[in-house]
């Protein structure tokens, strides 16, 4: 990893760690670099959306995928440090397993002068059985 890649990864890590919602959801960046990010969110009973089943609320999964997408953009070699979500479409495939941590992986696969495009997947331990998939567009500021 180059010094510039290391710097982008560090900026993305600091950004995520400073977001109050990321802190409240106990998100932990587990991998980042060259347009790819992975974040883990531990199961927490406070995040249950359906008390009968114990399934985590979809809004928490959305926040995880959005944050992971932003981190992927920030770590992309052609991206400046800052970004914001323009659009994020999330397809929920199934309910997460009650009691299971949620893992997200996002990839920034294309950047123009003003927009970065991201795809992401969230799962609860089995990457072959996604909980949700997302496609999004994020701002790219200051790209020359």
Q: Which CATH number do you get for residue 95?
A: 3.10.129.10
Residue 99: inside a domain, yes or no?
Answer: yes
Transcribe 49-88 into DSSP letters: EETTTTEEPHHHHHHHHHHHHHHHHHHSTT--S---EEEE
Which helix (H) or strand (E) segment holds residue 135: the answer is strand 132-139
Separation between Cα atoms, residue 113 and residue 65, nearest integer Å:
23
What integer pLDDT is reported at residue 119 of this predicted model?
98
Query: pLDDT tens, 54-74?
Result: 999 999 999 999 999 999 999
Confidence of residue 5 (pLDDT cuts 50, 70, 90): confident
What integer pLDDT is reported at residue 68 of this predicted model?
97
Residue 144: inside a domain, yes or no?
Answer: no
Q: What average pLDDT does the segment 117-135 reach? A: 97
Residue 44: inside a domain, yes or no?
Answer: yes
**Is the pLDDT higher at 15 or at 2?**
15
Query: What is the domain extent for residue 63?
Result: 3-139
């Amino acid at each position: 990893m180059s010094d510039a890649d290391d710097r982008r990864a560090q900026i993305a890590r600091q950004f995520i760690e400073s977001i109050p919602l990321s802190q409240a959801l106990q998100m932990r960046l587990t991998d980042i670099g060259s347009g790819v990010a992975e974040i883990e969110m531990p199961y927490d009973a406070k995040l249950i959306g359906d008390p009968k089943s114990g399934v985590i609320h979809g809004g928490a999964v959305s926040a995880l995928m959005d944050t992971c997408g932003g981190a992927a953009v920030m770590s992309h070699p052609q991206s400046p440090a800052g970004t914001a979500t323009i659009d994020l479409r999330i397809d929920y495939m199934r309910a997460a397993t009650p009691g299971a941590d949620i893992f997200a992986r996002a990839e920034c696969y294309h950047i123009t002068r003003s927009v970065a495009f991201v795809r992401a997947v969230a799962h609860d331990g089995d990457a072959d059985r996604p909980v949700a998939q997302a496609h999004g567009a994020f701002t790219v500021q200051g790209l020359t």
